[in-house]
Amino acid sequence: MKEFQSSKLLKKIMADHFLDMDRAAKEGNPKIAWCTSVGPAELLRGMGFLVYFPENHGAMLGATRMATDFIPSTNALGYSPDICSYLTCDIGSYLKKTTPLQKAYGIQSVPKPDVLVYNTNQCRDVKDWFSWYARELKVPLIGVHSFRNIGTITQYEIQDIAEQIKGLIPTLEAVSGRKFDMDRFKETVRLSRDCSRLWRATLETAAAVPSPWTFFDATIHMAPAVVARGTQEAVDYYQTLIPELKQRIADGVAAVDGERHRLYWEGMPIWGKLRPLSELLASLKTCVVASTYCNSWIFDQLDPDEPFESMGRAYTELFIVRDEAYKERYIESCHQLFKFDGILFHDAKTCPNNSNNRYGMPERLAKKLGLSTLTINGDLCDLRCYSEEQAKTQIEAFIEQLEER
């Protein structure tokens, strides 16, 4: 991977994020809310909470390959090896009192929550995950129950979700001891929208041929859009990164030297194998230019003038919440923009919710878009479900196939 200048700033934002939270956890102020990755973060931040995302911790456990050591302890509690490995590795890390935050930031333990807030828009696992902590730490658990697998979204669904988000306020006021402040909330929504717009623009630089960056770069640089959306820092970050990407385009600098093939990544990243996969694909002169995963943190429907409704819309219109027909149209539109010649589906053993190969989509898209698809078996965090050798052979064979076309 070619380094970005902006990476220094990224490291600082992430360090500040965790160190501030560690301090707050120790001092009891500000209060800390745990939030699911596509949960109502704007409301929490707008009400003065620091927001911690357990899924981000799950990804860190995956990337540091610590996850596979922790998952079995949670399995032993009765949480199946077939359910979300973010859940199992994160709870396992809590049980073992070991976290990658220790080495990365000198933080002894994950910041304790004052409230747990979920949205089931992505899956039920997040609620089960937070419920475990609610019982363990005796912390209030609240959340939004979303509609799933929807094609057309109507005002009915939007209104329902908006009301559910409003319904969180009394508990949040009680936990924080502060009154809800509409102006502050609106400002957070605005910042989150600005961050989303910039994140979209950042991702869309990969439409350039050759692409200035890869999906693997994006999985790292997406962190502020995930954990710091709704803050000025996140907005500033992408304002720094975008010019760097544009400069690469202007200078003809390719993320993958001699780019010959462009792929789309569908499904979860395999966190513990980002580097070997990125190196393998680079050696095959192949750039993964776009992914549903990184696109999933674009919430540019957000509108400070209609904060609740627009949040309802943003968190319901998400890819993961939608039906197959919508998902196919979505990938088709990405194909037009990013001009990829193949799609790599990752069938993540423990995340059926975000494995989109399972209902015939690769076959339908291959036919419709006239391109090749490949499905590899793996997992987001549980490396017991991944055969590196087999995946390597499949990817090499896939690129050989693209060469024959």
Whole-number minimum distance, CB 86 to ligand SF4, in Å?
A: 5
Choose the contact partner of 102 out of another protein, ligand SF4, none; CB within 5 to 8 A by kind: none
Alpha-carbon dihedral of residues 382, 366, 214, 17, nearest 10 degrees? Answer: -50
Among candidate residues 259, 260, 398, 262, the one with its CA nearest the CA of residue 340: 262
Shortest distance, position 126 Cβ to ligand SF4, whole Å: 5
Task: Please report, for residues 152, 172, 364, the alpha-carbon distance to residue 330 in angstroms, rounded to integers and kept in the order given.
Answer: 13, 35, 13
Nearest distance from residue 70's CB to ligand SF4, in Å? 15
Q: Which is nearer to another protein, 120 or 372 (CB)?
A: 372
Report yes or no: 140 and 115 within 8 Å, Cβ to Cβ.
yes
Nearer to ligand SF4, 119 or 373 (CB): 119
> 291 has which bridge partners?
265
Pair 289, 335: CB distance under 8 Å: no
Residue 311, binding choice from ligand SF4, another protein, none, Cβ under 5 to 8 Å by partner class: none
- Shortest distance, CB of residue 350 to another protein, whole angstroms? 14
**Smallest gap from residue 1 Cβ to another protein (A):** 23
Min CB(394)–another protein separation in Å? 6
Q: Does 169 help bind another protein (rule: CB under 8 A)? A: no
Is residue 183 a contact residue for another protein (CB under 8 A)? no
Q: Which is nearer to another protein, 80 or 159 (CB)?
A: 80
Q: How far is the CB of 374 from another protein (least distance, A)?
A: 8
When CB distances are held under 5 to 8 angstroms depending on the partner's kind, the choice from ligand SF4, another protein, none that residue 389 binds is: another protein
Q: Does 27 bind another protein (CB under 8 A)?
A: no
Residues that bind ligand SF4 (CB under 6 A): 55, 84, 86, 122-123, 125-126, 268, 351, 353-354, 380
CB nearer another protein, residue 149 or residue 393: 393
* Binding partner selected for residue 396 from another protein, ligand SF4, none, CB under the kind-specific 5 to 8 Å limit: another protein
Residues in region 348-387 near another protein by CB under 8 A: 366, 372-373, 375, 377, 385, 387
| Segment interacting with another protein, rule: CB under 8 A, options 34-42, 136-144, 247-255, 395-403 | 395-403
Q: How far is the CB of 237 from ligand SF4 (least distance, A)?
A: 24
Cα separation, 311 vs 349, in Å, equals 30
Q: Residue 208 or 383: which CB sits closer to ligand SF4?
A: 383
Lookup: tokens for 331? 């990938």
Rounded to the nearest angstrom, the gap between the alpha carbon of residue 308 and the centroid of all alpha carbons in its chain is 22
247 is a contact residue toward another protein (CB under 8 A):
no
Q: Using CB distances below 5 to 8 A depending on partner kind, what does residue 351 bind out of ligand SF4, another protein, none?
A: ligand SF4
How many chain residues are in contact with another protein, going by CB under 8 A? Answer: 18
Q: Which is nearer to ligand SF4, 130 or 340 (CB)?
A: 130
Partner that binds at residue 196, options ligand SF4, another protein, none, CB closer than 5 to 8 Å by kind: none
Return the residue of 5, 149, 333, 390 that touches another protein, per CB under 8 A.
Answer: 390
Q: At 162, list the tokens.
A: 């908006």
- Minimum CB distance to ligand SF4 smaller for 146 or for 353: 353
In the complex, which residues of this chain contact another protein (CB under 8 A)? 366, 372-373, 375, 377, 385, 387, 389-390, 393-394, 396-398, 400-401, 404-405
